[in-house]
């Protein structure tokens, strides 16, 4: 990528100031409206932290309990606020502890800027104390990275970092700054980056492709839409809704696309993928036209690519050219911001309806309701289910809460059953599947949307990977609601062991601590419920609190998540039991 950038001076730019590189970093952050950062200090980044102290009236730094927690919190903040999240760490282990969150942000297209300290430039390559090649390590999982060795580089590189992180398909950027560059004085001026030669983040819609897409939509008898997070990232929710209502086409979502359309909208037919709904999965292989919007045909969605939608024409609305024809060949690709391409399609298509095709969805929904959903939400067995626990949260949140999930059975159940009325309400680790994501991500999600209720739904396994972030919640008094669905197992792995490994539960049963006592040790109000009669009151009490709150719900130990498509199987092989 070219390093030379076009810049635009903000109004009222002052004459150059001679300041240190460390102060320059803070002034760059403030110029980018990045006044909330998550991090953990250390020797190689201490000059920047000294400036944070001096600018604390303008900049809010959140001390997480682990650098991984800083990245996940920055992700949660970005996902609910729509802004760039910022995480900061020192060199060596501090920097490497960021990598999991950076990789998560890369695959889930989350805008984030990570700033790491580095040993002095004359020590680079000498295996100095706490030196690691974080540029080499992070290159595969960043949208862009750069090592600064001169203070004078800081303004331009920081401006580029924020522009690259937020533009086009968003992603994480890492800037590594040597300690001597942080101390060095230079004449500081700042100009925001508005473009980079050779980097074209927004392809221009091709009219010929648009006309071809319109023709395919007009000819289709059984069209189907699968949408992903691109609708949310493109701020195209209203354009998407208008397209659905004019086209009359049924639509289903990937887990990162969830909440772009209200759950109750009549065109919303549920979730596709391994634990998605019965109808949209089966009918993927019956539709005659598949319109993919802002999604990347992940293997968890497609199953066996050799059998995926082979009977259908494919229209792919996508911003990133690398995703087109990567997994599924498109007959027509609309390379553009989907806010633009959806509006263009809506203007040209005719208003239609597909009553017989819609009835096919309804009939399959009835089968799933009878065989799976009724038992999940209205169980007759004595033990609590994950499904009824999520449904109780729906009752008290009325669909207005942000739901943050970790990874595992609880994640699939929450995505299947959570109700949403507005966008940016589902925060989860999709592509990387990072256990430990939810607790710190909920901190950032609440700080990114302080007026909204934020409920973290977490399994007992993933919770213990970042349980130390209870300290961050206590210190910052972030009013998140933490719900642990405790089955004393690594539930998703256990389910696979039950179904495909003859119930050989190798290293998946957990002997758990007293979670309520731990939460209370962090001065967080906490409760436990293990029977159906107490669930409603317990959730109501949690939701009524205006402070951080912890609720442990003890659920069935061997409760499975269905439907399920076995790994590598066709979407047509979806199992209901």
Residue 199 DSSP code: B
Q: Is 163 exposed, middle or buried (0-12, 13-18, 19+ CB in 10 A)?
A: buried
User: 396 φ, ψ to 5°?
Assistant: -90, -20
In angstroms, the Cα distances linking 409 to 13, 47, 438, 493, 555 are 53, 44, 14, 9, 12
> Mind telling me the catalytic residues?
67, 129-130, 179, 492
Q: What would you report as the CA-atom Rg of the chain, rounded to the nearest whole angstrom? A: 24
Q: In whole angstroms, what is the distance from residue 333 CA to residue 320 CA?
A: 11
Q: Is residue 457 a contact partner of residue 410, using CB atoms and an 8 Å limit?
A: yes
Query: In whole angstroms, what is the distance from residue 463 CA to residue 465 CA?
Result: 5
Residue burial 267-302, b: 16+ Cβ < 10 Å; e: rest? bbbbbbbbbbbbbbbbbbbebbbbbbbbbbbbebbb
* Count of Cβ atoms closer than 10 Å to residue 310 Cβ: 10
State the Cα–Cα distance between residues 195 and 254, nearest whole angstrom. 31
For residue 324, what is the enclosing H or E element? none
The DSSP call for residue 302 is H
In angstroms, rounded to a whole number, what is the distance separating the alpha carbons of residues 420 and 410? 17
Do 94 and 177 touch, CB atoms closer than 8 A? no
For residue 6, the Cα-to-chain-centroid distance in whole angstroms is 30
Nearest CA-CA partner of 232 in 424, 80, 425, 447: 424
Q: Residue 93: how many CB atoms within 10 A of its CB? A: 13
Dihedral sign (CA 114, 115, 116, 122)? positive
Q: Do residues 506 and 574 make contact, with C-beta atoms less than 8 angstroms apart? A: no
């Amino acid at each position: 990528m070219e390093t030379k950038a076009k810049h635009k001076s903000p109004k009222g730019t002052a004459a150059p100031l001679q300041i240190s590189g460390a102060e320059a970093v803070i002034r760059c952050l403030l110029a980018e409206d990045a006044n909330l950062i998550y991090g953990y200090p250390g020797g190689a980044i201490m000059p920047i932290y000294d400036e944070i102290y001096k600018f604390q009236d303008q900049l809010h730094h959140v001390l997480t309990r682990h650098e991984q927690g800083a990245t996940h919190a920055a992700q949660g903040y970005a996902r609910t606020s729509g802004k760039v999240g910022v995480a900061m760490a020192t060199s060596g282990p501090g920097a490497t502890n960021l990598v999991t969150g950076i990789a998560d942000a890369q695959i889930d297209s989350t805008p984030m800027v990570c700033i790491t300290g580095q040993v002095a430039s004359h020590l680079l390559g000498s295996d100095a104390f706490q030196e690691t090649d974080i540029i080499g390590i992070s290159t595969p999982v960043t949208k862009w990275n750069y090592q600064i060795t001169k203070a004078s580089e800081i303004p331009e590189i920081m401006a580029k970092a924020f522009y690259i992180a937020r533009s086009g398909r968003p992603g994480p950027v890492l800037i590594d700054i040597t300690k001597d560059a942080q101390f060095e004085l230079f004449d500081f001026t700042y100009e925001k980056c508005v473009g980079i030669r050779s980097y074209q983040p927004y392809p221009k819609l091709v009219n010929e492709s648009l006309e071809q897409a319109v023709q395919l939509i007009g000819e289709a008898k059984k069209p189907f839409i699968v949408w992903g997070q691109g609708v949310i990232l493109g701020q195209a929710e209203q354009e998407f809704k208008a397209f659905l209502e004019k086209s009359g086409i049924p639509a289903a979502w990937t887990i990162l696309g969830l909440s772009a359309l209200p759950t109750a909208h009549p065109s919303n037919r549920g979730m596709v993928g391994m634990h998605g709904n019965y109808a949209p999965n089966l009918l993927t292989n019956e539709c005659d036209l598949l319109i993919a919007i802002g999604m990347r045909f992940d293997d968890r969605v497609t199953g066996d690519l050799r059998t995926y939608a082979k009977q259908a024409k494919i229209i792919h609305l996508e911003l990133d050219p690398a995703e087109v024809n990567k997994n599924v060949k498109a007959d027509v690709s609309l390379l553009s911001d989907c806010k633009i391409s959806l509006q263009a399609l809506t203007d040209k298509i005719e208003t239609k309806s597909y009553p017989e095709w819609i009835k096919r969805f309804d009939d399959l929904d009835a089968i799933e309701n009878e065989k799976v959903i009724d038992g999940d939400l209205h169980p007759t067995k004595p033990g609590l289910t994950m499904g009824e626990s999520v449904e109780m949260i729906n009752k008290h949140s009325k669909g207005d809460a942000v739901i943050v999930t970790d990874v595992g059975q609880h994640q699939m159940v929450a995505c299947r059953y959570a109700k949403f009325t507005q966008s940016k309400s589902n925060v989860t680790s999709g592509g990387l599947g990072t256990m430990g994501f939810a607790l710190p991500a909920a901190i950032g999600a609440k700080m990114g949307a302080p007026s909204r209720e934020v409920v973290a739904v977490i399994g007992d396994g993933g919770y213990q990977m970042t349980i130390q972030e209870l300290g961050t919640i206590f210190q910052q008094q972030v009013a998140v609601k933490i719900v642990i669905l405790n089955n004393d197992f690594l539930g998703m792995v256990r389910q696979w062991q039950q179904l495909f490994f003859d119930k050989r539960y190798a290293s998946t049963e957990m002997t758990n601590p007293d979670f309520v006592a731990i939460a209370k040790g962090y001065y967080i109000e906490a409760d436990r419920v293990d029977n159906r009669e107490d669930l409603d009151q317990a959730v109501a009490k949690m939701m009524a609190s205006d402070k951080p709150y912890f609720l442990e719900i003890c659920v069935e130990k061997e409760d499975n998540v269905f439907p399920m498509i076995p790994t590598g199987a066709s979407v047509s092989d979806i199992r209901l039991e």
